Amino acid sequence: MSEWLENHLPKVVLAPSFIAVLIFVYGFIGWTAWVSLTRSKLLPKYEIKGFIQYERLFDSPRWDTAINNLYIFGALFIVIAMVLGLLLAILLDQKIRVEGAIRTIYLYPMALSMIVTGTAWKWILNPGLGIESMVQGWGFPNFEFDWLVNPDYAIYTIVIAAIWQSSGFVMALFLAGLRSVDGEIIKAAQVDGIPTWRIYTAIIIPSMAPIFLSAFIVLAHLAIKSFDLVIALTGGGPGYATDLPATYMYAMAFSRGDIGQAASSAMIMMLVVFAIVVPYLYSELRAKND
Amino acid sequence: MTDLSMPQTQTRTQSATGKIALRWLLYVMLGLFALYYLMPLFVMLTTSLKSLEEIRTGSLISLPREVSLDAWKTAWSSACTGIQCEGLRPYFWNSVLIAVPAVAISTLLGALNGYVVAQWRFKGANIIFSLMLFGCFIPFQVVLLPMARLLGMMGIAGTIPGLIFVHVIYGLGFTTLFFRNYYVTIPSELTKAARVDGAGFLRIFWSIFLPLSLPIIVVTVIWQFTQIWNDFLFGVSFSQAGTQPVTVALNNIVNSTTGVKEYNVDMAAAIIAGLPTLLVYVVAGKYFIRGLTAGSVKG
Amino acid sequence: MKRFAFATVSTLAVVAGSSVLAEPQAEVLHWWTSGGEAKSVAVLQEEFASNGGTWTDMPVAGGGGDAAMTALRARVLAGNAPTAVQLKGPAIQEWYEEGVLADISNVAEAEGWADVLPASIAGHMQCDGTWCAAPVNVHRIDWIWANADVLAANGIEMPTTWDEFNAAAEKLQAAGVIPLAHGGQAWQDATVFEAVALGLGGPEFYQKALVDLDPEALTSDTMVQVFDQMRTLRGYVDENFSGRDWNLATAMVMNGEAAFQIMGDWAKGEFLAAGKTPGEDFLCASTPGDGYLYNVDSFAMFEVEGDDNRAGQELLAKLIVAPNFQEVFNLNKGSIPARTDVALDAFDICAKISAEDMGSTSAGGSLLPSYAHGMALRGSQAGAITDVVTAHFNSDMSSADAVQQLADAVANSY
């Protein structure tokens, strides 16, 4: 008996977590899929009525805006946060005198939730209160920065705040990567007379490929879950110009009492997640199995 | 260490002044970025120190004419979060009661899971791991309603244990990922040798892996603490009177729709609610980078 | 003390026509958390306590009750519903249909609610002929607020038609004053929209379009005109209005930066808090046109276990509608009592206008529920309309397109 236990202990230890994930992630996804086929309103109902919720979803101009925003926001946020994070990491890696303090300044936004910083951002980005009026006050009356109140540009202010929140974390990931690159190789390259920028582009950055992947996953997960950010900064406005799928779903489920519709939008969101994450998991685990 | 600050490849034409100029440019750039990151905190801090009158009349982005700590006192002990006007204080304690056990349990489980997945690879372990990892990505809005039902059936709806349970479940994916990626870098020969010496599964974990794990424990604890302390959605949905966390109280102070807004109190409350996480980042930030360097991000 | 409390409760319970002899308990979910509002609810808590009850406060602010509704759903699904919940409009009937509301008819009948509440407001409190909610107050939505000095300086009277309003706005704009202070949040856009719809189309049109959702009314020329007027109003708003909180817009009127604001009567609280006097520093009038749009806050009682909880619900319902609370609460909140037999001596001029208009419109059939504040329609329909209204107001969409989208969105919302 105890020998059986000893042999199977790894599985026994993993089992509770695995069962919990099966129920609380996959069970709930299944539940959502089921509800998305019903006409649930205020509370979930379980009588299947077909794909009507998906038809409604695709007929909704607001959902189109939300999905388009996810593409714009997701692409810009991930790319800029990565580039900025890498740049900051490289700058910080030049034997900076007060590295600890600067690093903390770059990193701290990750510690605060957007409920906390949302109002401050709203003021800073508001043309009448923040940057625009400040710069105009310095004697540049033609300076304009009105993205927050412009339906065509408001989504970019969400990107600015999101990058503010997460790029420090990406910087930390890359900094850790830079610190673990083999110093001998770099010394050798320097002795060979290879210019600094070439050392970065040809040796250091390629060796950090796994970190790019990790950063991408963390950022993609933040992009898809972005919710507090929009609520705190624009509330989805002007109009619904800055709606994202997560805010759309929340509005349907909890302020509109349209749970079936919310479930169908959640399923589409899950599909997007699936399309991004599964290739990552596949490559990740195949590499490790070798 | 990638020391590129003084490359030996510089030609003689590059003078020392050029080097110094570059160095200055570097510091200016770092300083500008620091301003970008500090700006919201600056706005919050200065506003929290102003009087309401000064906020109404003055520019929002300016130093206070007169520094006053009244807003901080109000936010901590007398701001109204409903009928009770006891400030954030009682809710702060709820958050501690939720966050500390939830972080501890999810970290421990993550360590055990990561240890199994990385070092005791049985058939299907990788599939189990990837299924768990996918759980990180589920939008939390999706799980609110079915979770509420299950918590009710388990009899822990609206309680602090209920909230701890929810946070542990949805933290498992990330904690397992962190530990697994860390333990994967430890040679499996270590485990094999220990087994030959007769050490069992738990013994190896306890006396070999856990002592090696400090850097990654720091990373995991920081991550989990930030996530759980800052959570609003679960906190508002799965609490009842008496168990609401500090983010819900903060929201009650900041987000009332039809009342007079006291921005200085709002900002002071926001900073107070964010202090524990800020503190964790400032104090443990150094170990955070070290922990990441120690292997957690080597995908 | 305890014995005294017990005696009071049992007397009350008998009055309420119930034989329950338990200490009243209530966990109350609401979203009144700001200073003035919280004080108003505290009045209720004190009365509840002095009648021997124990009040457990469960405040959840945010999004005009969205967060509270999220919490409520989770609590109901967990089988752990709060005792009393701030709930209003058709949402009451929606929750009733889910079979989770308690019947408080015995209190309502013992207290004679039917005789003291206007019929249309009483209708909101009833589910299938039983009483299922208790009204707290009546907010009027179709108010227009103005800075008295600014109007006087530009020789402008309070407008009584939308044409007069437009003319006044042109004049103000030429004088360098922002004519309309507005916050570009969806609910504020919707608030202005319904005031315009009522003013331009009249009560009958409003009823058909925004209460009955008659497709003909939704696509009518009148609706096109309503959107035209919205576009005109857009021109009278300053360019930084997006996302502005309503109270900041009120502040603009207060300090003379702007002349008018269209907002419910909670705006009055802001003026009063800043020490302004109605009729002197600021003016209040109904928006141009006939009719009266109301927003009635109320508490619904959820089905709960235990005699003490049920006793709590009955006591709470009784106290909420009792004249004393109705007066004290509404003096604090800026609204007027829901019951019509409360003396208004202590109330200000705006509240008196509101009460008088409520009486006359109730008799004339033009006392109408506000769609923007969740009184007229269920959540998904109201939301669908707001989506179109706010999209139109914040873009260069034509009125014809807006009307078409409106009809589509409503059809797609069922």
Flag residues of chain A having pLDDT under 50.
Answer: 289-290
A129 located within any domain:
yes
pLDDT in the model for residue A98: 85
Q: By the CB < 8 Å criterion, does B286 face chain A?
A: yes
Task: Answer yes or no: do C57 and B82 touch at CB < 8 A.
Answer: yes
DSSP C49-95: HHTT-EEEEEE--SGGGHHHHHHHHHHHHTT---SEEE--THHHHHH
Task: Answer yes or no: do B157 and C73 touch at CB < 8 A.
Answer: no
Q: By the CB < 8 Å criterion, does C78 face chain B?
A: yes
CA distance, residue C74 to nearest chain B CA (Å):
5
Predicted complex ipTM:
0.85
For residue C63, count CB atoms less than 10 angstroms from its CB and return exposed for 0-12, middle for 13-18, buried for 19 or more. Answer: buried
Calpha distance C192→C234 (Å, rounded): 11
pLDDT in the model for residue A213: 78
Q: By the CB < 8 Å criterion, does C307 face chain A?
A: no
pTM of the model: 0.87
Domain positions in chain B? 16-68, 90-296
pLDDT in the model for residue C338: 93
B90-296 domain in CATH 3.30.1360.120?
Answer: no
Q: Sort out which chain A residues have CB atoms less than 8 A from B233's CB and list them.
A: 227
pLDDT in tens, B97-124: 999 999 999 999 999 999 998 888 888 8
Task: Answer yes or no: do B138 and A119 touch at CB < 8 A.
Answer: no
Q: By the CB < 8 Å criterion, does B135 face chain A?
A: yes
Task: Answer yes or no: do C57 and B241 touch at CB < 8 A.
Answer: yes
pLDDT in the model for residue C35: 65
Query: How many domains in chain A?
Result: 1
CA distance, residue B252 to nearest chain A CA (Å):
11
Contact in structure between C394 and C242 (CB atoms under 8 Å): yes
pLDDT in the model for residue C16: 45
Calpha distance B190→C90 (Å, rounded): 67
Task: For chain A, positions 50-79, list CB contacts with chain B under 8 A.
Answer: none
Q: Sort out which chain B residues have CB atoms less than 8 A from A199's CB and list them.
A: 4
Residue of chain A minimizing CA distance to B7: A190
Calpha distance A113→B59 (Å, rounded): 25
Contact in structure between B132 and B170 (CB atoms under 8 Å): no
CA distance, residue B103 to nearest chain A CA (Å):
15
CA distance, residue B149 to nearest chain C CA (Å):
4
CA distance, residue A152 to nearest chain C CA (Å):
9
Task: Answer yes or no: do A108 and B41 touch at CB < 8 A.
Answer: yes
User: What average pLDDT does this structure show over B208-233?
Assistant: 90
Lay out the sheet containing C133-135: strands in order across: C54-59, C25-30, C84-86, C298-301, C133-135
Q: By the CB < 8 Å criterion, does C70 face chain B?
A: yes
Contacts with A246 (C-beta within 8 Å, 6 or more apart), sequence order: A224, A225, A226, A227, A230, A269, B139, B141
pLDDT in the model for residue C4: 42
Q: Could you write out the three-class secondary structure of chain B?
A: CCCCCCCCCCCCCCCHHHHHHHHHHHHHHHHHHHHHHHHHHHHHHHHHCCCHHHHHHCCCCCCCCCCCCHHHHHHHHHCCCCCCCCCCHHHHHHHHHHHHHHHHHHHHHHHHHHHHHHHCCCCCHHHHHHHHHHHHHCCHHHHHHHHHHHHHHHCCCECHHHHHHHHHHHHHHHHHHHHHHHHCCCCHHHHHHHHHCCCCHHHHHHHHHHHHCHHHHHHHHHHHHHHHHHCCHHHHHCECCCCCCHHHHHHHHHCCCCCCCCHHHHHHHHHHHHHHHHHHHHHHHHHHHHHHHHHHCCC
Residue of chain A minimizing CA distance to B286: A100
Of B38, B278, B292, the CB nearest to A172: B292
pLDDT in the model for residue A119: 77
pLDDT in tens, A24-36: 999 999 999 999 9
Q: By the CB < 8 Å criterion, does C73 face chain B?
A: yes
pLDDT in tens, A55-110: 999 999 999 999 999 999 999 999 999 999 999 999 988 888 888 889 889 988 98
Task: Answer yes or no: do A179 and B273 touch at CB < 8 A.
Answer: no
A49 located within any domain:
no
Express as a percent the part of chain B with pLDDT over 90.
28
pLDDT in tens, chain C (414 residues): 344 444 444 444 444 444 445 789 999 999 887 666 777 788 889 999 999 999 998 888 876 677 888 889 889 988 889 999 999 999 999 999 999 999 999 999 999 999 999 998 999 999 999 999 999 999 999 999 999 999 999 999 999 999 999 999 999 999 999 999 998 888 999 999 999 999 999 999 999 999 999 999 999 999 999 999 999 999 999 988 888 888 889 989 998 999 999 999 888 888 887 888 999 999 999 999 999 999 999 999 999 988 999 999 999 999 999 999 999 888 888 899 999 999 899 999 999 999 999 999 988 889 999 999 999 999 889 999 999 999 999 999 999 999 999 999 999 888
Q: By the CB < 8 Å criterion, does A158 face chain B?
A: no
User: HSE on the CB side for C121, CA within 13 Å?
Assistant: 32
Sign of the dihedral through C-alpha B161, B166, B172, B174: negative
pLDDT in tens, B13-40: 556 788 888 888 989 999 999 998 998 8
CA distance, residue B105 to nearest chain C CA (Å):
24
Residue of chain A minimizing CA distance to B184: A288
Q: By the CB < 8 Å criterion, does C90 face chain A?
A: no
CA distance, residue B281 to nearest chain A CA (Å):
6
Q: By the CB < 8 Å criterion, does A166 face chain C?
A: no
Of C31, C75, C246, the CB nearest to B240: C75
Which letter, b or e, does each residue of A94-118 get, where b requires 16 or more Cβ atoms within 10 Å of its Cβ?
bebeebeebbbbbbbbbbbbbbbbb
Contact in structure between C18 and C311 (CB atoms under 8 Å): yes
Q: What is the CATH number of the domain that holds A186?
A: 1.10.3720.10
pLDDT in the model for residue A235: 80
pLDDT in tens, C262-290: 999 888 888 887 888 999 999 999 999 99
Judged against a pLDDT cut of 90, whether residue B3 lies above it is answered with no
User: How big is the A-B interface in CB pairs under 8 Å?
Assistant: 275
| Neighbours, chain C (3 or more CB pairs < 8 A) | A, B
Q: C-alpha B142: how far from its chain's center? A: 22
Q: How far from C362 is each of A283, B136, C194, C213, C344, CA to CA, in Å? A: 69, 55, 18, 21, 18
Q: Sort out which chain A residues have CB atoms less than 8 A from C390's CB and list them.
A: 237-240
Residue of chain B minimizing CA distance to A195: B9
Of A148, A149, A254, the CB nearest to C73: A254
DSSP state of C294: E
Q: Provide the token pair at C86.
A: 């701030």
Residue of chain B minimizing CA distance to C75: B148
Task: Answer yes or no: do B152 and C63 touch at CB < 8 A.
Answer: no
Task: Answer yes or no: do B267 and A119 touch at CB < 8 A.
Answer: yes
Task: Answer yes or no: do B260 and C273 touch at CB < 8 A.
Answer: yes
pLDDT in the model for residue C167: 96
| Neighbours, chain A (3 or more CB pairs < 8 A) | B, C
Q: By the CB < 8 Å criterion, does A93 face chain B?
A: yes
pLDDT in tens, B30-86: 999 999 899 889 888 988 898 877 876 666 667 888 888 888 988 888 877 777 778
Domains and CATH numbers, chain C: 2-139+296-349 (3.40.190.10), 141-294+363-411 (3.40.190.10)
The reply to whether omega before B161 is within 30° of 0 (cis) is no
A46 located within any domain:
no
Of A44, A149, A253, the CB nearest to C239: A149
pLDDT in the model for residue B225: 94
Q: By the CB < 8 Å criterion, does C255 face chain A?
A: no
- By residue range, what is the domain housing residue A66? 60-289
Task: Answer yes or no: do A256 and C76 touch at CB < 8 A.
Answer: no
Task: Answer yes or no: do A183 and B44 touch at CB < 8 A.
Answer: no
Task: Answer yes or no: do B258 and C37 touch at CB < 8 A.
Answer: yes
A9 located within any domain:
no
pLDDT in the model for residue B285: 77
Task: For chain A, positions 60-99, list CB contacts with chain C under 8 A.
Answer: 60-62
Mutate one of C240, C252, C397, C414 to test the A interface: name it (highest A CB count within 10 A).
Answer: C240
Q: Which residue has the higher pLDDT, A58 or B295?
A: A58
Of A43, A239, A257, the CB nearest to C380: A257
pLDDT in the model for residue C149: 95
In terms of residues, how long is chain A? 290
Task: Answer yes or no: do B83 and C247 touch at CB < 8 A.
Answer: no
Contact in structure between C218 and C227 (CB atoms under 8 Å): no
Q: At what angle do helices A114-125 and B263-291 cross, to 10 degrees?
A: 110
Q: Sort out which chain B residues have CB atoms less than 8 A from C42's CB and list them.
A: 83
pLDDT in the model for residue B13: 52
Q: By the CB < 8 Å criterion, does A256 face chain C?
A: yes
Contacts with A269 (C-beta within 8 Å, 6 or more apart), sequence order: A224, A245, A246, A249, B139, B142
CA distance, residue B262 to nearest chain A CA (Å):
12
